[in-house]
Amino acid sequence: MKKIVVIIFLLGIFSLDAMEPEKKSAEQLQSLLTQKLPAELQVDILERILKNPFPQQNIQNFLKNFLNVIISLDPAFFPQEVKKQYLNAFAKQWYLTYEKELKIPELWTKRHFKGQTPEKILDWGFSIAELQKAGKLPQIKVGKLDLKYLKINSLQGLQDIPNIAKISELNLAFNRMNTIPPNAFAGLQNLTDLDLPGNQISTIQENAFKGLNNLQWLNLGGNQISTVLTYIFEGLSNLKTLWITNNKISYLPAKAFGKLNNLKWLKLSQNQINRISINAFVGLQNLTDLDLSENQINRIPINIARRTPINVFAELNNLESLNLSKNQINKIPANAFVGLNKLKLLDLRNNLLSETTEERLRKKFGDRVKFIDLSFKKEIKRNQRKLRCPLPSPPKGGELP
């Protein structure tokens, strides 16, 4: 009976309504947590701290006090995963208030979170809707919206941005997205350029780019993409440039890019590609530039039965530039490049090919191909003499000059 009376007494004293919380600052609310309160009140105060404006002075003391509060919470009611959630919520509000990332000492996290580093604990981000509500979204300028480096982890709210339907360029580079959901860019029918590099994208769901009928430039470099399937690019019939560099792709299946009939520049360098279906590039009849450098390719797929296509590149009738440098190719079959009648630049540097192969290819292509270099040793000598001949970079819009 006495325990019940004590609890009722405490609840009466520390009732948040009785304390007029709207008049208390985040610091004042935080000080309440140093007292021994029931877990329900601790949760309520924590949530109110995160909703109240953060102080503009003595912010390091504010941070220190909050961290002390977190570690003092009763683990019976606040297991480590719950404490992580509060830390991440605090980090989000910290970023919105001070426009800089929260820095937590590594020694502190390792001591109180079983040896984990701050990077593993602070896994937060914002939806576009949250940034819009906080007034942190840049304005649209001349048809361009630049949303890079904003810690965005969700595209929710994109369609609610005023005049979003009128933009032609959208930059979402270097954010924290890991999934592109269906219809993510619905309503952006005027978009021509979309930049998504430097995120953590591993999943692109079906119809993710649906409605982007005018898109010409798509950059997905520097993500975690491991699989390329035809449905990913559904609706991108006017795409001209596709960058998927520096991802985790190991296999290119049949008709991987079959929906991209107007594609001209395809960059797949710095992946882990070691297998390519002989039909991988079917449908890319307008492709002029293909970059497969810095992968793990050890052979060029050919059709032994001499059916169509005779090799993996056979249907690339307009291909002008092919980069296969820095792979593990040790042999080139006689019909490996049959069908590449418009080829002008072939880069085979840093593979495992012999000079005999180089002579045979030079004889085959004659003066039509501008550059062929197969020997790793020869490449070193060329570097020393500064006579390198790298592939040109594509201009924004897709076509080479």
CATH number of this structure's domain 216-401 = 3.80.10.10
Helix %, strand %, coil % of the chain (to 5): 30, 10, 60
Instruction: Return mean pLDDT, the chain.
Output: 85
Residue pLDDT, tens place only, 175-213: 999 999 999 999 999 999 999 999 999 999 999 999 999
pLDDT at residue 125 tops 50: yes
Instruction: State percent of the chain over pLDDT 70.
Output: 84
Specify the pLDDT at position 379. 41
- Which among 25, 33, 27 has a CA at the least distance from the CA of 58? 27
At 33 the pLDDT is: 67
pLDDT of residue 5: 32
Residue 31 in this model has a pLDDT that exceeds 90: no
Report DSSP letters for 160-190, one per residue: GSTTGGG-SEEE--SS---EE-TTTTTT-TT
Is residue 393 over pLDDT 50? Answer: no
256 near 279, Cβ under 8 Å?
no
pLDDT-based confidence at residue 16 (cuts at 50, 70, 90): very low
pLDDT at 116 over 50: yes
Contact indicator for 213, 188 with CB cutoff of 8 Å: no
**CA-to-CA dists, residue 346 to 284, 290, 320, 323, 374, angstroms:** 18, 10, 8, 6, 10
- Of the candidates 222, 243, 197, 191, the one whose C-alpha atom is nearest the C-alpha of residue 393 is 243
Judge whether 372 and 365 are in contact, CB under 8 Å. yes
For the chain, the domains span: 2-121, 216-401
Q: With 90 as the cut, is the pLDDT of residue 308 above it?
A: no
C-alpha distance from residue 314 to each of 119, 137, 283, 301, 319 (Å) = 47, 47, 11, 11, 10
Give residue-wise pLDDT tens across range 221-275: 999 999 998 889 989 999 999 999 999 999 999 999 989 999 999 999 999 999 9
Answer whether 243's CB lies under 8 Å from 219's CB: yes
